[in-house]
Structure 1
Amino acid sequence: MFSKKKKNDIEDPIMGNTADEQVTNVQAEESADAASTPEEAQPELSVEEKLQQEVAALNDKYLRLFAEFDNYKRRTQKERVELLQTAGKDVIVSMLPVLDDFDRANKAMQGATDVAPILEGLALVHHKLKSTLAQKGLKEMETLHTPFDTDHHEAITNIPAPNEELKGKVMDELEKGYTLNDKVIRFAKVVVGS
């Protein structure tokens, strides 16, 4: 009933394999490892050939980088041109209602006999224009009776000041100055007291 087990037929309690099976498995793994290792049949590259391959790889990398940069330059230049063409679009669109009001005022002036309503309408349109431009960041400079400042004013002429307090200050404003987002876009043309 009981068969005699050979010395190598003892089962491994962990793997459940006999010693002969374990030896066979190890031999199969070794032959598989030997088959997967690269064969030594590939010829060794000389130093010169390695350097030539490296130079070719670097040249390819350089050409790709140069092409990428050239594409980037073209793309940004195109975007810049498009931006310049449409930069004032939002300002123009916001000014269209003011233009419509001026057209209506023009029509009303043609058949009007009373001047008061026309003046009132023009004052309203003027106020609307100023408020629209103010929303876009345009501010009018306050110049009268302020000290002359070459960063904001352009002196047209000097006149004698009526009193000592007005010397070196703006006496009159010939053309208003404007700032856009706190940057001067037009200097105020002024008369300075001396």
Structure 2
Amino acid sequence: MTKKSEETKAAASQEEKVVDNAATEVVENEETNVEASEGDNASDEIGKLKSEIEELKNQNLRLYAEFENFRKRNARERVELSTTANREVLNAMLPVLDDFQRALKNISEAEADSESTKGITLIYNKLNDTLKQKGLKPMENTVGKKFDVDFMEAITKIPASTPDMAGKVIDEIEPGYYIGEKILRYAKVVVADGEPQS
């Protein structure tokens, strides 16, 4: 019995080892499966996070571009508003400038040296300089030039005195002005029309 019991014990011990080995393999396989599934879950999670990061980067870039466009549009609108206000003020000042120019043209030589004439000239020069600083530029004198509808407004037409004067400006009633590169007021002119009268 001893031998049989030893064999039984040995067989039982052998079975326990096989069962232990099988259990160990099952546990190791389960751990490997758990690790593999955790690895799969981790790589899935990493992929999701990377795509989220890309999406947030794109959203951030779009918002930045949108803000830059807003800032530029706002700056442009402020400049346009300032230009429009400046344009209105300068346009309102043109009749005053015209009156000063007419007054200075009509001063006789005897009155040219008087103190009042010097005062009027000083005020005119200050006004003219201030308007130039605000962007007002006079157009070139149009008398003798060919009539151009892009820069001039014909007030009236009179018969040309010579054939070469036909279609040319004879007199400038009011000078034209620019504000920056845009026309503020067209030059108001008298144009020679057609054939000269005999």
TM-score by length of 2: 0.51
Between Structure 1 and Structure 2, which shows a larger proportion of helix residues?
Answer: 2
Look up the match of 1:120: 118
**Larger radius of gyration, structure 1 or 2?**
2
Change (3 A) 1:165 1:131: farther
Equivalent residues of 1:141, 1:179 under 8 A apart: no
Contact 1:141 1:188 in 2 (8 A): no
Q: 1:188 is matched with which residue?
A: 187
- The counterpart of 1:76, out of the listed 47, 72, 79, is 72
- 2-structure distance, mates of 1:64, 1:169: 62
Alignment of 1:93-108 (within 5 A): none
Q: Using the TM superposition, give the Cα deviation of residue 78 of structure 1 relative to its aligned residue in structure 2, in angstroms.
A: 4.0
CA shift, 1:122, in A, is: 1.0
Q: 1:84 to 1:70 in 2, by over 3 A?
A: same
Which residue in the other structure is 2:150 paired with?
A: 151
Across the aligned residues of Structure 1 and Structure 2, the Cα RMSD in angstroms comes to 3.8
Q: Which runs of 5+ in 1 are unaligned?
A: 1-39, 93-115
Q: How does 1:34-73 map to 2 (within 5 A)?
A: 43-44=39-40, 52-73=48-69
Aligned-pair CA distance for 1:84 = 4.9
What is the distance in 2 between the residues matched to 1:65 and 1:138? 44
Change (3 A) 1:81 1:58: same
The offset of 1:188, in angstroms, is 0.6
| Deviation >6 Å, runs of 4+ | 46-50
Shift of 1:169: 0.6
CA distance 1:83–1:181, shift in 2 (3 Å): closer
Q: What is the number of residues matched between the two proteins?
A: 133
Deviation of 1:170 after TM superposition, in Å, equals 0.5
Does structure 2 retain, via aligned residues, the 8 Å contact 1:169–1:193? Answer: yes
CA drift at 1:177: 0.5
Q: Cα offset for 1:182?
A: 5.5
TM-score between the two structures when normalised by the length of structure 1 = 0.52
Structure 2 stretches lacking a partner, 5+ long: 1-35, 91-113, 194-198
Name the % identity. 30
1:158 and 1:191 in contact (8 A); partners too: yes
Looking at both structures, which has the greater relative contact order when contacts are Cα pairs under 8 Å and sequence separation is at least 6? 2
Cα distance in 1 for partners of 2:44, 2:187 equals 74
Q: Report the counterpart of residue 163 of structure 2 in structure 1.
A: 164
